[in-house]
C-alpha cells in the first residue's frame, strides 16, 4: 500500500497542482470519500478466445473459428495498458492474472511479448504472483516450459472433472487422459498451481464426486477451486437445463468435500477456495479484500481507488470492437464511480466470501467511510446468527456461509 497525498486527484489522469484551499474543500464536499491509503493493486489481462464455448460458461469467451489475430490483440493490449497508466502512476503491481477464454492458446512468442510489454510499462513487485489459466486440451510440454521461462509462476488448470462422461456433458474439449496429463505437466514444471473442479454435475453421484476429488488430492496441488455447477443466464444450460443432483445430493457432496479437504490439510478460506498452508491465491484474495485491480483486454473490468472516489470500468466485450477502440486510444466502454450508498454492499459482497472474515479496520481503509455506515445491517445480521462480530473480526457464521446470498443482500440498503 502507498500513502495518498490528499491534494492530488489521479482519476482525471492528470496530476495538476492543487491549492491548499481547494484541497480542504474536497474534504468538505458532501458524499466525498476519504481514503488515507490506496489498496494493493493487481493486473488482470483477458484473453477472449477458446476452442469451443462450454454450455455452462457465461464468461466473455468466443470460439476461435479461424486464425486468432494474436498480433493485433497484443498490440491492442499494450495500447490499452498505455492509456490506463495515468490512473495508476507510482503504484506497484502485486499480482497478475491472465484469464479467459483460454490463454494457453497463446503462442509462446506471444506470451513472451505480452510479459515484456507489461514489465516495460509497469513496476512489478519482486515476488509478484503471475497466474495463467490453462485448459488440458491445450497442454504441450515445450510451450509450457516457455510460459514458465516468460515469468508465469502459477497455473490455474480448468480440469472440471476426471470423469470422461461428465467432461462430455460439460462440453469440454479434453478427456480424462488429457486431464491427468495436464496435471502431471503442471506438477513437473510449476511449484504453484491450482486445479479447478466442478461438482453437482449432470448425473453425478456422490461416489463420482469423491473420485474426482480423490484424484485431484493425489497430486497434492497447492490450491483447489471447487465450484458448484450453476445455471447462469444466457448460457446453453440455462436454455436447455440438464438433470442435476437434488439439493440434498448436492449438500452431501459439499459435506464430503469439507471433510476430505480438511483431512488432507487444506484450509477452506473462501466459498470455493481451498489451499495448503500459505498457498492461498493472492490475486483472488485481493479481490475478496476489496483491493484494486486494473483490467485490460476485451470485456475486462477494473476497480481503481483514488483519494476521494472509487472508479469502476469495463472494456468493450467483442474482441474486434476492443481492438479498434484500443487503437483509437480508449478501450473503456463503461465507467462510473461507486456511490457512498453502494460502497457498503460492494465491500461486504466480496469480504463475506472469506470464511475467516476480516478486520473491521479494513472497511475504513478500502471504502474511505466509517464502519458505522453499515451498523444497522451488521446488527441485523448478528441478531439472525449470520455473522460473528467483535472489535477485531467480522466473519460469517456457519449459518451465514450456508445462506451467503441472503446475508450479502442485507447490506444492499446499508
How confident is the model at residue 16, as a pLDDT?
Answer: 34
Measured CA distances, 219 to 195, 197, 280, 343 (Å): 10, 14, 17, 41
CA–CA separation, 397 and 355 (whole Å): 8
Number of other CB atoms surrounding residue 163 within 10 Å: 21
pLDDT of residue 414: 62
pLDDT beyond 70 at 6: no
Least confident stretch, 35-39, 49-53, 82-86, 205-209:
49-53
Q: Which of 298, 329, 291, 328 is nearest to 314 (CA)?
A: 298
Are the CB atoms for 411 and 379 separated by under 8 Å?
no
Instruction: Please say whether the beta carbons of 156 and 221 come within 8 A.
Output: no
More confident site: 14 or 398: 398
Query: Which element (helix H / strand E) includes 128?
Result: strand 124-134
pTM of the model: 0.89
Domains, the chain, with CATH or none: 41-285 (3.20.20.70), 340-414 (1.10.10.10)
pLDDT confidence of 330, banded at 50, 70, 90?
A: very high
Mean pLDDT of 382-390: 97
> Which has more pLDDT, 283 or 29?
283
Give the pLDDT band of residue 31 (cuts 50, 70, 90).
low
> Tens of pLDDT along 82-136?
999 999 999 999 999 999 989 999 999 999 999 999 999 999 999 999 999 998 8
Long-range pairs, 71-75, Cβ under 8 A, ≥24 = 71/110, 72/323, 73/47, 73/319, 73/323, 74/110, 74/113, 74/114, 74/117, 75/323, 75/326, 75/327
Mean pLDDT of 65-75: 94
Please tell me the distance from the alpha carbon of residue 190 to that of residue 194, in angstroms, as a whole number.
Answer: 10
Please say whether the beta carbons of 146 and 111 come within 8 A. Answer: yes
SS3 for 78? helix
Q: Which residue has the higher pLDDT, 215 or 20?
A: 215
* Distance separating alpha carbons of residues 411 and 393, to the nearest angstrom: 17
**DSSP-assigned letter for residue 103:** G
Between CA 178 and CA 188 the distance in angstroms is 15
Nearest CA among 287, 271, 270, 292 for reference residue 279: 270
Q: pLDDT exceeding 70 applies to what percent of the chain? A: 92
pLDDT of residue 367: 96
Number of residues assigned to the chain? 414
Query: Using CA atoms, how far apart are residues 324 and 327, in angstroms rounded to an integer?
Result: 5
Q: Is pLDDT larger for residue 10 or for residue 205?
A: 205
CA distance 220 to 233: 34
Amino acid at each position: 500500500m502507498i500513502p495518498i497525498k490528499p491534494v492530488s486527484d489521479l482519476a482525471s489522469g492528470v496530476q495538476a497542482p492543487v491549492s491548499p484551499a481547494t484541497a480542504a474543500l474536497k474534504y468538505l464536499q458532501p458524499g466525498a470519500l476519504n481514503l488515507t491509503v490506496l489498496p494493493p493493486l493487481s493486473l488482470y489481462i483477458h484473453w477472449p478466445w477458446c476452442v469451443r464455448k462450454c454450455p455452462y460458461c457465461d464468461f466473455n469467451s468466443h470460439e476461435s473459428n479461424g486464425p486468432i489475430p494474436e498480433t493485433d490483440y497484443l498490440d491492442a493490449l499494450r495500447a490499452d495498458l498505455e492509456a490506463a497508466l495515468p490512473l495508476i502512476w507510482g503504484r506497484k503491481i502485486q499480482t497478475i492474472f491472465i484469464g479467459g477464454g483460454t490463454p494457453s492458446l497463446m503462442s509462446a512468442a506471444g506470451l513472451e511479448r505480452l510479459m515484456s510489454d507489461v514489465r516495460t510499462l509497469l513496476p512489478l513487485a519482486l515476488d509478484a504472483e503471475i497466474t495463467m489459466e490453462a485448459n488440458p486440451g491445450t497442454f504441450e510440454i515445450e510451450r509450457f516450459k516457455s510460459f514458465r521461462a516468460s515469468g508465469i509462476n502459477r497455473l490455474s488448470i480448468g480440469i472440471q472433472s476426471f470423469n470422461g462422461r461428465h467432461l462430455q456433458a460439460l462440453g469440454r474439449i479434453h478427456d480424462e487422459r488429457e486431464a491427468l496429463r495436464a496435471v502431471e505437466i503442471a506438477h513437473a514444471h510449476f511449484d504453484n498451481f491450482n486445479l479447478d473442479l466442478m461438482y453437482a454435475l449432470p448425473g453425478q453421484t456422490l461416489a463420482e464426486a469423491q473420485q474426482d476429488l480423490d484424484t485431484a488430492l493425489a497430486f497434492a496441488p497447492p490450491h483447489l477451486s471447487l465450484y458448484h455447477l450453476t445455471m447462469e443466464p444466457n448460457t446453453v444450460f440455462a436454455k436447455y437445463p440438464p438433470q442435476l443432483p437434488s439439493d440434498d445430493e448436492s449438500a452431501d457432496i459439499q459435506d464430503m468435500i469439507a471433510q476430505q479437504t480438511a483431512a488432507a490439510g487444506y484450509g477452506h478460506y473462501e466459498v470455493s477456495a481451498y489451499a495448503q498452508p500459505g498457498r492461498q491465491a493472492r490475486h483472488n484474495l485481493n479481490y475478496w479484500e476489496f483491493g484494486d485491480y486494473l483490467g485490460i483486454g476485451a470485456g475486462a473490468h477494473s476497480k481503481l481507488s483514488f483519494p476521494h472516489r472509487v472508479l469502476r470500468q469495463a472494456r468493450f466485450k467483442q474482441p474486434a470492437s476492443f481492438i479498434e477502440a484500443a487503437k483509437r486510444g480508449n478501450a473503456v466502454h463503461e465507467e462510473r464511480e461507486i456511490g457512498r450508498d453502494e460502497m457498503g454492499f460492494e465491500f461486504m459482497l466480496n469480504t463475506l466470501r472469506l470464511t475467516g472474515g476480516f478486520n473491521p479496520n479494513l472497511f475504513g481503509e478500502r471504502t474511505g467511510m466509517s464502519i458505522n455506515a453499515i451498523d444497522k445491517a451488521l446488527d441485523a445480521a448478528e441478531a439472525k446468527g449470520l455473522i460473528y462480530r467483535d472489535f477485531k473480526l467480522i466473519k460469517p457464521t456457519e449459518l451465514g456461509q450456508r445462506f451467503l446470498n441472503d446475508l450479502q443482500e442485507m447490506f444492499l440498503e446499508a
